[in-house]
Amino acid sequence: MGTNAEFSIKRQVFFCYGHRLRDYAGPCKNLHGHNAKVEIELASKQLDRKGMVADFIDVGRIMKNWIDKTFDHKLLLRQDDPLIPILKEQGEPLFIMEQNPTAEHIAQLIFEYATTQGLPVVSVTFWETEHAAATYSNP
Ligand SMILES: [Zn+2]
């Protein structure tokens, strides 16, 4: 076994969200929704005393809870989107982002949260549709 060998695990989380992109001419410029799949990959050269990189149950509890609370059934909008005041007034649940709410930026936010929770995350892949995904990683 080489010295760079390591174990990795993946946990998937599914949720629904709406968004629209600014400064963009494709169909994602209009308000619409996606059924997202998030794949969180953790890695470690050594296993813990249970023989695990991390317990799937712990990873699921930490990440699924936060993802549901933060993004599920919310509208993800860029901070300068002119719809924000109107939707706030109507009581719509929003998640406001500094950057365009693309798969890339959502993957990055999820990665950064996993890091703050002490999880040995190496990548987050965010599937916006069955066919299209973006990955943020720190190999
Ligand atoms: Zn979209």
pTM to 2 decimal places: 0.94
Residue 108 domain-assigned?
A: yes
- Please count the structural domains in the chain: 1
99 C-alpha to center of ligand 1: Å? 14
Which is catalytic among the residues 6, 16, 73, 112?
73
Sheet hosting strand 94-97, strand order edge to edge: 94-97, 74-78, 7-19, 32-44, 121-127, 133-137
Residue 95 belongs to domain with CATH number: 3.30.479.10
Question: What are 13's two structure tokens?
Answer: 């989380």
CA distances to 45, 75, 87, 97, 101 from 108, in Å = 23, 17, 25, 12, 11
The answer to whether 19 is a known catalytic residue is no
pLDDT in tens, 40-77: 999 999 999 999 999 999 999 999 999 999 999 999 99
- Looking at the predicted structure, is the pLDDT value of residue 106 above 90? yes
| Domain boundaries, position 90 | 7-137
3-class DSSP assignment, residue 108: helix
32 C-alpha to center of ligand 1: Å? 6
The answer to whether 73 is a known catalytic residue is yes
Residue 1 domain-assigned?
A: no
The answer to whether 16 is a known catalytic residue is no
Residue 41 domain-assigned?
A: yes
